[in-house]
Amino acid sequence: MRPAGGSQIVAGGPPDVADWVGSPRAFLLPLALAQFICSFAGSNMNVMINDISKDLDTTVQGVQTAITLFLLIMAILMIPGSKLTDKLGRKRCFVIGLVLYGIGAVLSAVSPGLGVLILGNSVLEGVGTALLIPPVYILTTLAFSDTTSRAKAFGAISALGGIGAAAGPLIGGLITTGISWRAAFVFQAAVVATIIVLSRRMADPLEPDPARPFDVVGAILSGAGLFFVVFGILQAQTDLALMAILIAVGAVFLLGFFLYTRRREREGREPLLSLSLFRNKTSDLGLVTQNIQWLLLMGITFVVSVYLQTVRHFSAIKTGVVFTAITAGILVASIAAARLAKKHEQRTLIRAGFVLTIAGIGLLLALVRESASVATFVPGLLVAGLGLGVMLTPSVNVVQSSFPEHQQGEISGLSRSISNLGSSLGTAIAGTILVSDLASGNRSYVLAMVTLAGLGLIGLAAAIRLPASTEPAAGRSPTTSD
């Protein structure tokens, strides 16, 4: 049988966990911090938009492009990154990813213009994240073998991921106002350096397999397809014809990926992603809910951040403080997640999460007025945070539990790719609607929020269709990730 990464376990099984894990807490800390900083990087720039735009002599659209590209590069490279863990080794990929991320953070901190910022933040940090995140979940799966300890470990990682995304604006606002937006990237580099030090004694329980095939053509086709689709959406604010062309090009690449993968499977060669993963109804619906959850989280964060800074003229710190509400909501829901899971079905929690999140968007629409105070944003963000926190872990659990152990590497990579794609789509879709007509103030804000609410209803519809039984497949324990 294969472990989560897909590597073949030698006779007798992997080494004794105690031989390479040591203290469970010490082993888990760098992995959880890695998820935190990557999620933090996806949202902290939202409160720096005005500062970065003025300092680098660019526009809100330019900064939005940098943010979206970071999230998109993570999404398109997450599956290839997961596959490379078998070829290069989990620990090695983790460290290489951290080093690339750290270099990108330093480069972003000293960037003289938008181009260098995109190279550092979007490209290097994005590639680094795609390399370091898959080992986080594969190593955790191998280290914590029993159901209880594994659930707690993934719960901690999920919680830090959600908190990192939600607290990004607050921490970024504090650093930007107190020092500079550039210092926020220095903070990221410092955290990455700390993770590298904390992980120096971490061992890889399985030997890498350099001879393992890697589907380069599949990686190019899938990556190009997703890139053109999301980048096309970003063009909606400037050129609708170009948007249609780019999305069509992306669709052609994705069709080519499907046909190529099907042929590769029929020839008995290992593809980048097995098409059989999409023949599981429960997993398919779970992936839809995952995608929309992260779309809503990043969409709400981006829209409110831009609106507060460009229309209400809030400072970075004032904007960040507003997001304390959504951070608190996610934190409270994450703490209660284990208790809720014992009392309710996973599909029930996912449904409740969407209902709460849509209600939060409703409050953000109903309470916000031209002359409204900061406090009017708090109820909506708090309720949305509670909703997102309630459903993040159960949604991933539904997907992971739909497959046996030997497919966990593939489904983990797909799961995180879908989540990151949702994050990039949230910033691209909602952000494009808002940024395209900022001069209209409340009108563009309302249109963006209504769009997010509509997408939330699609997520709720998928959650309603989830089957009653979400028991794990034979031969493995249920886990959570992302």
The sign of the torsion formed by the CA atoms of 306, 307, 313, 319 equals negative
Return the structure tokens found at 178: 């107190």
Mean residue pLDDT across the chain:
82
CA-nearest of 422, 134, 395, 358 to 284 is 395
- Residue 372's pLDDT band, with cuts at 50, 70 and 90, is low
Per residue in 47-56, pLDDT (tens digit) is 888 889 989 9
Question: Which 8-state DSSP code applies to residue 201?
Answer: T
Return the structure tokens found at 357: 């999140």
pLDDT of residue 11: 36
pLDDT of residue 150: 67
Rounded distance between C-alpha atoms, residue 377 and residue 385, angstroms = 12
Residue 286's identity, in one-letter code, is G
- The 10 Å CB-count burial string (b at 16+, else e) for 190-211 is ebbeebbebbeebebbbebeee
Average pLDDT over residues 212-232: 89
pLDDT of residue 237: 67
Per residue in 153-207, pLDDT (tens digit) is 777 787 787 778 777 888 888 898 889 999 999 999 999 999 999 988 887 777 7
Q: Is 60 exceeded by the pLDDT of residue 3?
A: no
63 near 45, Cβ under 8 Å? yes
- Residue 12's pLDDT band, with cuts at 50, 70 and 90, is very low
CA-nearest of 283, 288, 394, 296 to 347 is 394
pLDDT of residue 479: 38
- Residue 480's pLDDT band, with cuts at 50, 70 and 90, is very low
Q: Which CATH class is domain 22-215+272-464?
A: mainly alpha
| Residue tagged 């989560």 (tokens) | 4
- The 10 Å CB-count burial string (b at 16+, else e) for 68-93 is bbbbbbbbbbbbbbbbbbbbbbbbbb
Q: Which residue has the higher pLDDT, 428 or 435?
A: 428
Q: Is 80 exceeded by the pLDDT of residue 19?
A: no
Residue 226's identity, in one-letter code, is L
Q: Which of 261-265, 321-325, 442-446 has the highest mean pLDDT?
A: 261-265
pLDDT of residue 48: 87
pLDDT of residue 359: 96
Q: Is 90 exceeded by the pLDDT of residue 387?
A: yes
Half-sphere exposure of 463 (CA within 13 A, CB side): 27
- Residue 458's pLDDT band, with cuts at 50, 70 and 90, is very high
List of residues 6+ apart from 300 with CB closer than 8 A: 326, 360, 361, 364, 381, 384, 426, 430, 449, 452
- Residue 472's pLDDT band, with cuts at 50, 70 and 90, is very low
Q: What is the 3-state secondary structure (H, E, C) of 329-396?
A: HHHHHHHHHHHHHHHCCHHHHHHHHHHHHHHHHHHHHHCCCCCCCHHHHHHHHHHHHHHHHHHHHHHH
